Each structure stands twice: as C-alpha cells, then as structure tokens.
Amino acid sequence: MADMPALKGRYMEVIVMGGRGVKYMSKFRRRLQVSLCSHADPEGDAFEQRLSVWTDPNKIVGTVLFGEYESGIRFCFPLDEVDDAPEAAFDPNFLSTAVLRVRLLTSHVKTQTQTLRSLNAVLPSITSGMKDIIDYSSAAIEAETRLPLDNIIAGGCGFGSNWVPLQREPLPEGEFLPDPNEFIELYIQIYVLPGHQAIVPQLQAYLRDEKAAIDALAARASADEASAESLRKPALERVATAQEKATWTAEQMEAYSVALVTQMYQAMTPDQQATYLGLTPEQQAQVMLQYETMRLQAEQQQAIQQQQQQDAAQAAQVGAAPTEAAPQSVTVEPAAPEPAPAPAPA
C-alpha cells in the first residue's frame, strides 16, 4: 500500500443544495447519484455510490431542491485507512486522477398527479410503494458533471462552492428541450476536513444566501400562482361541513381544497406567507385545517346572528301591524249634504 501522507486523517464532504434549468420533464421527480472515481476505480464502485431520495420539483419551474427542508444534502467520503477508506484511495495515481462524478437522474413519476393524490388520501403507504416501483424501473441519467479533485483533496486551502453546469444526455428521438441554450446547473460545495475547517463557516453562509434567494423566488412564484388561480376559480362562498364533504367526489374535494388554500394564502401577510411556504406538507395541512375550522365557526356564528336579526325584524313587523292598519279601519263620516236650493218664486 502506497504511503499517502496528504490523505492522512482526511475525509471529503460534498453538499448539493439543488438544481436549476431542469425544464425538460419539469414536473417529474429527480435524484442525485454521487461517485468518487479515479483511474483505478473508473465507476467509483470502491467508494460506493451515494444516492439522494427521489425529490419532487420546487415551486419554481425548472428548480429542484434536495435534502431535509430543501436545505441541501451532504455526502461524506473517507480518505484515510483509519476511517475505512477503500483500497482505491491509496493507489499512487489517486490524487492526480480523482474526480467527483455527479449525476442527475430523472424518473417517470410525475409529482401530484390526480390519481396519486386520490390514492394517497386513502392509502398513503400504497402510494409511496407505487412511486418507488416506478422510480426504480424508469430511472434514467439526465445529465452529469465530472469535477477534478486533485487541488481540493491535496491542497491546503482549495475548495469548491458554486453553480456547476452539467452535460446533458441525448434526448430520445423526436423530443426537444424547451430551451436548447439553457444549462442544467447544480449548486455544489466540496471541501476536505480537517484541512478546510476554517473556511466552513463562510461556505455555510454562501449556502444560506443561495437558499434564501431561491426561497424568495419561490414565495413570489407561489403568490403569482395563487393570484392567477383565484382568477381562474370561483370564490369559495363558504366552508363546507363534514357531512357535505362526505358526499363529494375526489374532483369536488380537490377543487374545494384548492379554493380554500388559495383564499387562506391571500388572507396572509407577506411574513405569514413566507413562514407557511417554509413548513412541511404535514404542517401546511394542519394550518389549512385550523383555518377551515376557524372559518366554519365564524360562518356559523354569522349565520346565527343573521337569523336572530331576521327573527327580530319579523317580530317587530307583527307587533306594529295593528297600529299600521288602524287608518284603514276608522269609519269615515260622510260629508254633510249640500243645502237644498231655495224654491223658485211662484
């Protein structure tokens, strides 16, 4: 085994926040495949491939964000024997030939289809299983990049943090890109610890800034979508009761939910909207349920008050009826007869 003092005690971390320019099949799920390849291990099998979970697209068309809370996903590659680095890391040519291969995979599972939404409402575990099966059977490489690592792994201050363009795979015959001049890009950070420990806080700040910029665009896109949706759909006049919803079809329930969420979002302040967009789907559903419950209570109270006002108005009319009818029942004395004309003189 070759002596590799440059790698002693080191491990490489790779963070991928997300991608942009993913406008071909933009509503389909994506996955990352990250490999550490070299001359002795061209496919990266020795280090094992790192995979993200299948991820739905972001609210911004052509954007996908990976990791928990869409804040990026971290992959770790040990480079020292003590940390169980594979034999390939100790090849004499490893440092000069090592590359990070990052692939973006696409699935034929379309996010939020009507069929999957309807099934998920009843059998969420079955829906998840169906997605996994389709993901696995339909996965294909969409684009990839290969980043040389010699300066980063061996260097004392080398690191990477930027949007990186990917090389697309050829499309199936007869299919075309929405914009042939637009690249797929991934925001990638690469550094080696402990050598680059001092720069990690700055890298984290870069990551937060990029995420904040995307979140701002997503909030604007959601607001525009909600505004456009409100113009396309009739206003929700009132909240439905559980008894009413029990008789609805899936299409009726979907239209009702969309209208309810749209009105709830429009009623929020900008700060509330930003907070809402940062919640998990489960938390957003809980917020919608609370909004629906509060609105139903308010509408029921309003209905009670309106009924009380109507009852009071009717009672007032009934009580005033004799007084108003009195002029019609008064006997009008006939006018006195005109005096008879005096008899004519004989």
pLDDT in tens, 30-74: 999 999 999 999 999 999 999 999 898 887 888 999 998 888 999
Is 346 within the bounds of a domain?
no
The pLDDT of residue 343 is 47
As for how many domains the chain has, the answer is 3
pTM for this entry: 0.60
Nearest to 22 by CA among 224, 184, 175, 136: 184
Do 223 and 281 share a structural domain?
A: no
Do 279 and 225 share a structural domain?
A: no
pLDDT top residue among 130 and 14: 14
| Backbone angle region of 253, left / alpha / beta, with phi > 0 → left and psi within -120 to 50 → alpha | alpha
Share of the chain above pLDDT 90, in %: 27
Average pLDDT on 159-171 reads 89
Question: How confident is the prediction for the chain on average, in pLDDT?
Answer: 79
The pLDDT of residue 157 is 54
The pLDDT of residue 332 is 42
The neighbour count for residue 14, using CB atoms within 10 Å, is 22
pLDDT at 137 over 50: yes
Do 136 and 64 share a structural domain?
A: yes
Is 330 within the bounds of a domain?
no
Is 334 within the bounds of a domain?
no
Do 169 and 245 share a structural domain?
A: no
Do 247 and 177 share a structural domain?
A: no
Write the DSSP symbol of residue 278. Answer: T
pLDDT at 15 over 50: yes
Res. 239 pLDDT band, cuts 50 70 90: confident
Nearest to 147 by CA among 111, 105, 98, 110: 98
Do 146 and 40 share a structural domain?
A: yes
pLDDT tens string 323-332: 554 445 444 4
Share of the chain above pLDDT 70, in %: 74
Nearest to 199 by CA among 211, 188, 190, 186: 190
Domain of 264 in residue numbering reads as 237-304
Beta bridge partners of 141: 105
The pLDDT of residue 52 is 94
Is 324 within the bounds of a domain?
no
pLDDT at 194 over 60: yes
Q: What is the C-alpha separation between 253 and 234, in angstroms, rounded?
A: 15
Token pair belonging to 307? 């009924």
Q: Helices 281-329 & 250-266, crossing angle to 10 degrees?
A: 90
Do 101 and 42 share a structural domain?
A: yes
The pLDDT of residue 284 is 85
pLDDT at 28 over 70: yes
Question: 154-185 b/e with 16+ CB inside 10 Å = b?
Answer: beeebbbbeebebebeeeeeeeeeeeeeeebb
Do 155 and 35 share a structural domain?
A: yes
The pLDDT of residue 117 is 52
Q: Which long-range contacts (CB under 8 A, 24 or more apart) does 203-209 make?
A: 203/15, 203/159, 203/161, 206/161, 207/15, 207/17, 207/71, 207/72, 207/161
Do 211 and 64 share a structural domain?
A: no
The pLDDT of residue 320 is 63
Is 54 within the bounds of a domain?
yes
The pLDDT of residue 134 is 62
Beta strands per DSSP E along 10-52: 11-20, 28-37, 50-51
Is 174 within the bounds of a domain?
yes
Do 87 and 101 share a structural domain?
A: yes
pLDDT at 195 over 70: yes
Is 103 within the bounds of a domain?
yes
Average pLDDT on 224-241 reads 63
Nearest to 200 by CA among 211, 209, 189, 216: 189
Do 229 and 138 share a structural domain?
A: no
Q: What is the C-alpha separation between 182 and 166, in angstroms, rounded?
A: 11
CA-CA distances (angstroms) from residue 329 to 276, 320, 325, 326, 344? 68, 15, 7, 5, 44
Is 319 within the bounds of a domain?
no
Average pLDDT on 278-284 reads 84
